[in-house]
Amino acid sequence: MTVVLVAQNHNPTILNPDFLKYNHIVPEKWNLKEKPICIEPMARVVFENGIQITAELDKVIFLEPIRNDKDIDKITIPEIAIKYVNTLPHVKYMAVGINPKGHLSFATEDEAQSFIMDTFVNKNPWVHFDHRPNNIGLKFSYKLEEAVLTLAIEASLFNVPPEKPAPVVLFAANFHHNITGDTQDTRLGNLSAIIKDWRKDVDTYREFVKKLISG
């Protein structure tokens, strides 16, 4: 899952472990998985627990890997994102994305591709233009009451070393929320409220994908 803050004139060079820990954005006991990167205009910090924060001129990305056995209520990046915003309240935040991504596993790449073909694609002649397509990707976009939902579906390989890459069908969602408000305090309050309500977007994603794959 990722939480993405879209911002104007954000300074990515401030992102480093000392900044994150000194401002209590992340716990002091968190250890780094690798050496931080700071190559203008991008900076990245990756921790041993898999949480990754990437800063660019126009956005900040908070990423957290989620195993099947992890309680969804223990996801921590929404809280981290809010602490980041509270530490840098003068940045002009324009939008926030709540982006869950999940997958179905298959024994072979052909099985993953066939799942997409058989589940989502009508059996029209264009499907078999001389040969069966090597790959098909689908994208759905919906205007919800409080966000725009985009869901992309594609066959891919799920790679988590040292395990071998596994064939999967990815379901990647983006809930795009624009930040509104006439004053800075109002906009910051609305931004925090959207992030705090992240579970609503994730539940919507899970129910939608469940309906898609169950027919």
Q: 110-168: per-residue pLDDT in tens?
A: 899 888 888 887 666 656 666 555 677 899 999 999 999 999 999 999 887 677 889 99
184-191 LR contacts (CB < 8 Å, sep 24+): 184/89, 184/90, 187/93, 188/85, 188/89, 188/93, 191/5, 191/85, 191/93, 191/96
Mean pLDDT of 17-38: 96
* CA 23 – CA 208 distance, rounded (Å): 38
- Strands 101-105, 166-178: parallel, antiparallel or unpaired by DSSP? antiparallel
Is pTM beyond 0.85? Reply is yes
pLDDT value for 50: 93
The burial class, CB within 10 Å (0-12 / 13-18 / 19+), for 112 is: buried
pLDDT value for 69: 64
* CA 109 – CA 124 distance, rounded (Å): 22
pLDDT at 191 over 80: yes
pLDDT value for 151: 97
Nearby residues of 207 by Cβ (< 8 Å), 6 or more positions away: none
pLDDT at 63 over 90: yes
Neighbours of 102 (CB within 10 A): 17
Percent of the chain exceeding pLDDT 90 equals 73
pLDDT value for 5: 98
Mean pLDDT of 96-102: 97
pLDDT value for 135: 72
- Could you say which DSSP state residue 72 is in? G
Q: Of the ranges 39-48, 64-73, 95-104, 190-199, which one carries the lowest mean pLDDT score?
A: 64-73
Tell me what the pLDDT averaged over the chain comes to. 90
Mean pLDDT of 65-88: 89
């300074």: which residue's tokens?
A: 11
Mean pLDDT of 21-34: 96
pLDDT at 62 over 90: yes
pLDDT value for 40: 78
Mean pLDDT of 94-118: 92
pLDDT at 215 over 90: no
In 18-43, which positions are buried (b, 16+ CB within 10 angstroms) versus exposed (e)? ebbeeeebbeeeeeeeeeeeeeeeeb
